[in-house]
Amino acid sequence: MVLLLLAACGARVPVPATDLNHTPNSALLAMMTDETVTSSERIERILKEARPGNVAAVATLRHVLADRSQTAFILEYRASATFGLAPVENPYALPLDRGVERAMAAVALEAISSYRALPELLHALDDRDGLVAAHAARALLKLGCRSGISNLLASLERKAYESEIANRMLIESTGEDFGFDADIGMEAKARAATRWKTYWAKRSQDPTLLKGEGTPYVVGFDAIVDARIRTEVDIVGQFQFLFMEQSRKMLARLGDPALPFITEGLGRAKDKPTWRAGLAQALAGMGTAKSHAMLTELLGDPFPSVRSRSAEALVAVPGDVGRGALLRALKDVDPSVPLAALRAVGSSRREDAIPLLSGLKGPREVVEAAMVARFRVTRDKADRPAVVDLVEGGLSGARALALLALAEASFIELPDSATVDEGVRKAFLAAAAAAFGNC
Amino acid sequence: MNTRALLAIALLIGTIAAVLWLRDEDSNGSMSRTAESLPRFGRALTLSKSSDCKPCHEEVYNEWVGSQHGMAYVNPEVQRLSKGFRDRDCLPCHAPRPIPETGLGERALERLVDLEDGVDCFACHRNQDTMLGGTHITQAVDAPCNPMPSTAIKDLRTCTPCHDQHKVVQDWKETTYAVKGPGFKDCNGCHMPEVARAPTSTLPARKGKSHRFPASHDLATLKSAASMTVNLEGQTLGVVVRNDGTGHNFPADERHRTVDLTLVCELEDGTVATCRIDRYRNPYRDEFDLRNPLRTPGAEREYTVTLGSVGLVSVHALRVAADFNPNRKVYYAENTQIPSGEARQYRVSLPERVKRVTVRLLYKNQPFLADGEARVLHESVKNVGK
């Protein structure tokens, strides 16, 4: 209780000594980059650690798993840091062909099944090798976290070895089989992948446990895990952009178990708008009812960027939650907030927003953004010329949105330089006009 | 009250102060300053765009318009790289809200309105209802911008929210320029040089600070960042590249910025062959092949580079330590940028048939740019055997 109170007010809470005793096995780490060691020897060595309850190996396996290209930082023990841990540049990088070793680290962590690897497994979902992400997804499921399922679904559209293993894991976890096979041809594969996605959209709302699914983490269960997650909450408010981005994503993927830590973090971030805005962004990535409730509270934050990020996330939520947020955002005194909300109206194509947009008053940027938002929802031909006019004559925010709207409506990919290269922009507008003519 | 009670009160006050201190300390270990601690005018600010500042500050406005701050959003290269800012994470630094409001030293947050203005006047000067100026200004009650003197405007933590992402300011802190005294120079010392301001209807002639912010986009500033000396003895070429003009690494900031040391050899039969002797750059994390072979001051190495069809050229490279604080903190071990005060010294063994060599120090905005598209910082031509 004392530790929780201290954590809430941001005082330094040291990492318990038990984790400090678990220092990485440097001999094993050295093997990973030793060119004289074969891949099978490395894999064999990693898998020796794959024993339930072998928590002492987690510190080493975390580093084998963490690839510098996707996990920019690791947490280093530092007595002076708030929770006894500080982020430092990740010095560990396996050569490009060592994806199997990282995947085996995830397999070993799955066998050990310790919450102490939660943050690293969540970071590993971004690994450039789909095999690593797939094994991390399954290890996470065992720790009660379903975030990796969306990675498995995305992997169905990747290379054969990634899609095959993703499909197998999905079958194992759900007991369903939609006939996916990497060799059945593009169309049949796409159909099977779509069936998986449709199934998961519904099944993900069902709390009935999947096969192999464990219990989600609860704050207070393990002081070491708490310290690691709290440190990631703090990184969201610190300086290094990539670290912030990766921690935000980690918290979003952790989902509801992260909420008590974020609540504490918002308390520590009382005087730090950047930190609160970062936490709002982490909440925006969760998509759960509890995270929506917290974001609704943040619509009352004194700093506009916190409100605009909250509004953008909430307005995309169907039903009353999103509608209520839109109503509040449109009345906000800072134009950034209605602008963010209008962007979300367009991207989520929320039809119930249309009546709220007609006759909207405010700064020119807001009025123009409302026009684009309406077009993105309705794709009404009558509004098209006005949106085309905004591409050249609108204010900057609306210009970029207008291009995006025309790309969506014409199903033509928007070239990266369309905003600045007149030739590219004209060619894009001509192609879009031709596509509209064909409709 | 007895001594014990006094001690208990003192202990309690000390504990509260310690907790407050712990809460306020930021990740860099320095105290951040929030909007509340900065001066406020107490009257609504009616200005909202940078162009509103122009009537009274035309000279400054014109400098800013042409600066990289002024074009931070509309810059074609930035627009292309950010996919027209569909990559939303670029916005906080290319169209920031007022830094004094976000908190000095804190990461910037995005503005979403008046994006064309990029890093506008308000980004550095505005705090709520007030426009902060240097400590020399007066609190003119009739000025529409509600001006207030403040030390915040010269505070490096106005720059760090966007410019310390790659540790430029952290690197500066370890140089001789950061030592208080006659040699002290901070960001403003080089990137906001003193300029003469003409008198206006309200202000006399005076000295001001340039709002052009000359840096890597300014060739003169780039050329002054590092020196290159070349000498030839027989068939051995000696080259020294020294970071003797900046208070931070060279090149600095973004990881795509690159400086190449190249050698062009003209052979007796008319053949022209080119090679790169070295590259100074902080590589991206997924560029696994890019290593820093000279990891510590004093380190040296022998290597070969391919000189077109002529064959291999052997090179000896030495990392020459800086006179001041030679062992500095390393944030990324593979970084080959040259720290302030350090030099790279090369001995190149030229092939027999070479009659003339040209050594160039080239600045590239991104590492994939061809040599011909780079900006030439220094060039030296030597005739072999003369």
**Is some CB atom of chain B closer than 8 A to the CB atom of A71?**
no
Radius of gyration of chain B (CA): 25
The H or E element spanning position B207 is strand B206-209
Task: State both tokens at A340.
Answer: 């963010």
Which of A274-288, A348-362, B25-39, B352-366 comes out lowest in average pLDDT?
Answer: B25-39
Q: What was the pLDDT predicted at A223?
A: 93
Q: What is the mean pLDDT of residues B121-146?
A: 88
SS3 B346: strand
- Give the count of beta carbons closer than 10 Å to the beta carbon of residue A213: 16
Residues of A with Cβ-Cβ distance to B120 under 8 angstroms: none
User: Contact at 8 Å (CB) between B315 and A98?
Assistant: no
Q: What is the mean pLDDT of residues B329-341?
A: 93
Work out the pLDDT band at B15, boundaries 50, 70, 90. Answer: low
Q: How far is B289 from chain A (nearest CA, A)?
A: 9
Work out the pLDDT band at A396, boundaries 50, 70, 90. Answer: confident
Q: What is the mean pLDDT of residues A117-124?
A: 95
Q: What was the pLDDT predicted at B206?
A: 87
Token pair 């201290």: residue: A6
Q: What was the pLDDT predicted at A329?
A: 97
**With DSSP H G I counted as helix, E B as strand and the rest as coil, what are the percentages for chain A, rounded to 5?**
65, 0, 35
User: Is A304 in Cβ contact with B76 (below 8 Å)?
Assistant: no
User: Is B285 in Cβ contact with A273 (below 8 Å)?
Assistant: no
- In this prediction the ipTM stands at 0.87
Residues of A with Cβ-Cβ distance to B107 under 8 angstroms: 239, 241, 244, 274
Q: What was the pLDDT predicted at B24?
A: 37
Count of A-B CB contacts under 8 Å:
120
Task: Compare all CA atoms of chain A with the CA of B81 and give the residue at the minimum distance.
Answer: A416
- Give the count of beta carbons closer than 10 Å to the beta carbon of residue A389: 13
Looking at per-residue pLDDT, the higher value among B274 and A1 belongs to: B274
Q: What is the pLDDT of residues A61-79, one digit of tens each?
A: 998 998 877 788 999 899 8
Q: What was the pLDDT predicted at A69?
A: 73
Q: What percent of chain A has pLDDT over 70?
A: 94
SS3 B320: strand
Q: In whole angstroms, how far apart are CA B333 and each of A24, B173, B254, B337?
A: 20, 19, 16, 11
Q: What is the pLDDT of residues A5-35, one digit of tens each?
A: 555 555 556 666 667 667 788 889 888 888 8
Q: What was the pLDDT predicted at B27?
A: 35
Q: What is the pLDDT of residues B21-57, one digit of tens each?
A: 433 333 333 334 555 577 777 788 888 899 999 998 9
Task: State both tokens at A14.
Answer: 């040291």
Task: Compare all CA atoms of chain A with the CA of B74 and give the residue at the minimum distance.
Answer: A420
User: CB-CB: which of A245, A275, A420 is closest to B80?
Assistant: A420
β-bridge mates for residue B232, sequence order: B237
β-bridge mates for residue B360, sequence order: B262, B379
Residues of chain A numbered 10-29 and touching chain B (CB < 8 Å):
10-12
Q: Is the pLDDT of residue A389 over 50?
A: yes
Q: What was the pLDDT predicted at B20?
A: 44
User: Contact at 8 Å (CB) between A244 and A238?
Assistant: yes
User: CB-CB: which of A397, A416, A420 is closest to B115?
Assistant: A397
Q: What is the mean pLDDT of residues A273-288?
A: 97
Residues of A with Cβ-Cβ distance to B165 under 8 angstroms: 239-241
Q: What was the pLDDT predicted at A84?
A: 92
User: Is A274 in Cβ contact with B74 (below 8 Å)?
Assistant: no
Q: From the candidates B24, B77, B113, B167, which should be mutated to test the interface with A, based on the most A CB atoms within 10 A?
A: B113
User: Cα separation of A40 and A100, whole Å?
Assistant: 10
Three-point CA angle B273, B278, B279, nearest 5°: 115
**Is some CB atom of chain B closer than 8 A to the CB atom of A418?**
yes
Residue ranges per structural domain of chain B = 24-209, 219-383
User: Is B23 in Cβ contact with A9 (below 8 Å)?
Assistant: yes
Q: What was the pLDDT predicted at A122?
A: 96
Q: What is the pLDDT of residues B66-81, one digit of tens each?
A: 999 999 998 988 888 8
- CA A340 from chain centre, in angstroms, equals 19
- Residues in chain B whose Cβ is within 8 Å of chain A: 19, 22-24, 26-28, 32, 34, 36, 73-74, 76, 79-80, 83-86, 89, 97, 101-103, 106-116, 164-165, 285-286, 288, 331-333
Q: What is the pLDDT of residues B161-180, one digit of tens each?
A: 999 988 999 999 999 999 99
Domains and CATH numbers, chain A: 2-203 (1.25.10), 379-439 (no CATH)
Average pLDDT over chain A reads: 91
User: CB-CB: which of B22, B28, B110 is closest to A11?
Assistant: B22
**Is some CB atom of chain B closer than 8 A to the CB atom of A403?**
yes
Work out the pLDDT band at B134, boundaries 50, 70, 90. Answer: confident
Residues of B with Cβ-Cβ distance to A93 under 8 angstroms: 285, 288
- CA B170 from chain centre, in angstroms, equals 11
Q: What is the pLDDT of residues B96-110, one digit of tens each?
A: 999 999 999 999 999
Q: What is the pLDDT of residues A168-208, one digit of tens each?
A: 999 999 999 999 998 999 999 999 999 999 999 999 999 99
DSSP state of A135: H
User: Cα separation of A380 and A387, whole Å?
Assistant: 11
Work out the pLDDT band at A422, boundaries 50, 70, 90. Answer: confident
User: Is B102 in Cβ contact with A240 (below 8 Å)?
Assistant: no
Q: What is the mean pLDDT of residues A102-111?
A: 96
Three-point CA angle B153, B157, B161, nearest 5°: 115
Q: What percent of chain A has pLDDT over 90?
A: 74
SS3 A122: helix
User: Contact at 8 Å (CB) between A380 and A405?
Assistant: no
